[in-house]
Every structure is written in structure tokens, then in C-alpha cells.
């Protein structure tokens, strides 16, 4: 019985890390709901791996942070898909003139612009339609077979892989923003030429409306391509989580 309780505690720590790291349907749920969900997931996966041989409670407590880091690393891989959308929104907002108006997200405890929130929610809708939450939960279940609880001794082995995936996410966000950046850059150059040709014209009074309209129209036309790009990126989440687990396992 002590070994079974130790295994359940370590499994709960890993599932809790996944729920905290992955910003999916459970992100806006109250803390009590997320805690109950992590315990329920731990009960469901209990028995997939052998009970750890822990000599004392101190060894179990010392292994809890490692298991939490493993779960958070898996959730972080799924988070990178949403982060790329946020990066695209943060790049687009200044050129559209919407960087001043920011909204506070009480769950993530960050301030973001309206464009960033729109693009992030759009990416979340694509993730739910694609079934990214099922991919993450399936990867968690498989991780207990590849990496049994209590066998993690150096989770820092996944640092290199996570850094590489972060770079890929930043590059993906920049590629998403490039078409809109190009249109807004051309619009600003055109406004500059008009202002130079007719100095008496108050171009800056209408410049905001023009850039806002150009950016909104370009985003509307680019949404189908952005959806396909999000979908292609989310299809790689499963193999990326597998890379992280293999790196932690030292295989």
C-alpha cells in the first residue's frame, strides 16, 4: 500500500504539470476543478507503470518536483503552438496602432493587446477542433510506459530539445505575421509619400483609420491560411512530446 500511494502521488504530480503547462480547455477552470482533474487523471493511469521502490517518504517528496517538471515539459510543448499565435499578434499590433490598448488576462497574469487575444482564441479554437487536448492526454498516458514514475533523475536533459522547439515556435509566429506586416509597411510608406507630397494635409489624422482598415482586411483574408498553418504545427505536437520524453529518459 505505501508503494501504491507513492506511485499515485508521483502520477498526480506529473498530470498536474501537464494541466498547468498546456493552455487548453481547462485553462479557465477554477483551481479546485483543475486539482480534481489532475487527481482523476492520476487514478485513471494508475497501474500503467510499476510502483516505485522508495525507501522513505523523503525520497517520494524529492521525486515530486521531477515528475512535475516532466509533466510541465509535455504541456509546454502544446503551449508553444498557442505562443506562436500570441507572438504573431504582438508583432502585428504596433503597426496597426493597437499596442496601447491592452487587456489583462487574470488566468495567465499577463497584459495583451486585442489583436493578440483574437489570434490566441482563434488558435485555441483550431486546437479544440483538431483535438489537441486528446493528443496531449494520450502522450501523458504513453509517458508512464516509457518513463515510469520515480525513474526521472535528470529532467534537465530535455532543455536542449525545449529550446529548439521554442525557436521553432518563435519562427512560426514571425511567419504568421509577415503577410500582414508587408501590407501595413506598404500602407505606411504610401502615407509617408502622401504626407511628403501634400504637407498641408493632416495625414496623421486619417493614418490610423487606414492602417487599421488595411490590417483588419488583410487578417480577414489571411485567416484560412493561418488556420492551415496552425493545424500543420499542431500535428507535430505528438512527435515533439515524444522527443522530450525520449530526451528525459536518455534514450
What domain count does the chain have? Answer: 1
Give yes or no for residue 177 having a pLDDT over 60: yes
Between CA 21 and CA 17 the distance in angstroms is 6
Residue range 86-114, pLDDT digits in tens: 888 888 887 776 666 666 565 555 667 77
Q: Residue 100: what pLDDT?
A: 64
> Mean pLDDT across the stretch 114-141?
85
Q: How confident is the model at residue 167 (pLDDT cuts 50, 70, 90)?
A: very high
Residue span of the structural domain in which 116 resides:
2-249
- Is there a contact between 141 and 71 (Cβ–Cβ < 8 Å)? no
Q: In angstroms, how far is CA 3 from the centroid of its own chain?
A: 34
The position carrying cell 505505501 is 2
Q: What is the largest CA-CA distance in the chain?
A: 84
CB-neighbour burial class of residue 182 (10 A; exposed 0-12, middle 13-18, buried 19+): exposed
Q: Residue 105: what pLDDT?
A: 61
Nearest CA to 167 out of 80, 41, 42 is that of 80
Residue range 188-205, pLDDT digits in tens: 888 777 777 766 666 666
Q: Residue 49: what pLDDT?
A: 67
- Is there a contact between 83 and 31 (Cβ–Cβ < 8 Å)? no
- Is there a contact between 74 and 18 (Cβ–Cβ < 8 Å)? yes
Q: What is the pTM of this model?
A: 0.80
Between CA 81 and CA 234 the distance in angstroms is 6
User: At CA 75, angle to CA 68 and CA 41, rounded to 5?
Assistant: 65
Amino acid at each position: 500500500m505505501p508503494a501504491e500511494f507513492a506511485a499515485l502521488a508521483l502520477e498526480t504530480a506529473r498530470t498536474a504539470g501537464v494541466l498547468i503547462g498546456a493552455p487548453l480547455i481547462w485553462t479557465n477552470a477554477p483551481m479546485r476543478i483543475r486539482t480534481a482533474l489532475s487527481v482523476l487523471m492520476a487514478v485513471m493511469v494508475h497501474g500503467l507503470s510499476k510502483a516505485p521502490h522508495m525507501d522513505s517518504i523523503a525520497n517520494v517528496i524529492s521525486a515530486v518536483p521531477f515528475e512535475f517538471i516532466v509533466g510541465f515539459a509535455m504541456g509546454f510543448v502544446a503551449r508553444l503552438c498557442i505562443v506562436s499565435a500570441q507572438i504573431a499578434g504582438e508583432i502585428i499590433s504596433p503597426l496597426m496602432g493597437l499596442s496601447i490598448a491592452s487587456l489583462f488576462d487574470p488566468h495567465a497574469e499577463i497584459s495583451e493587446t486585442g489583436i493578440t487575444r483574437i489570434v490566441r482564441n482563434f488558435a485555441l479554437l483550431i486546437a479544440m477542433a483538431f483535438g489537441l487536448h486528446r493528443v496531449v492526454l494520450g502522450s501523458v498516458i504513453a509517458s508512464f510506459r516509457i518513463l515510469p514514475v520515480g525513474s526521472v533523475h535528470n529532467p534537465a536533459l530535455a532543455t536542449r530539445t525545449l529550446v529548439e522547439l521554442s525557436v521553432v515556435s518563435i519562427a512560426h509566429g514571425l511567419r504568421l505575421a509577415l503577410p500582414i506586416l508587408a501590407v501595413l509597411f506598404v500602407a505606411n510608406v504610401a502615407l509617408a509619400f502622401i504626407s511628403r507630397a501634400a504637407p498641408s494635409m493632416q495625414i496623421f489624422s486619417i493614418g490610423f483609420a487606414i492602417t487599421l482598415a488595411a490590417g483588419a482586411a488583410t487578417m480577414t483574408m489571411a485567416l484560412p491560411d493561418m488556420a492551415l498553418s496552425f493545424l500543420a504545427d499542431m500535428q507535430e505536437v505528438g512527435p515533439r512530446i515524444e522527443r522530450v520524453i525520449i530526451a528525459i529518459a536518455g534514450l
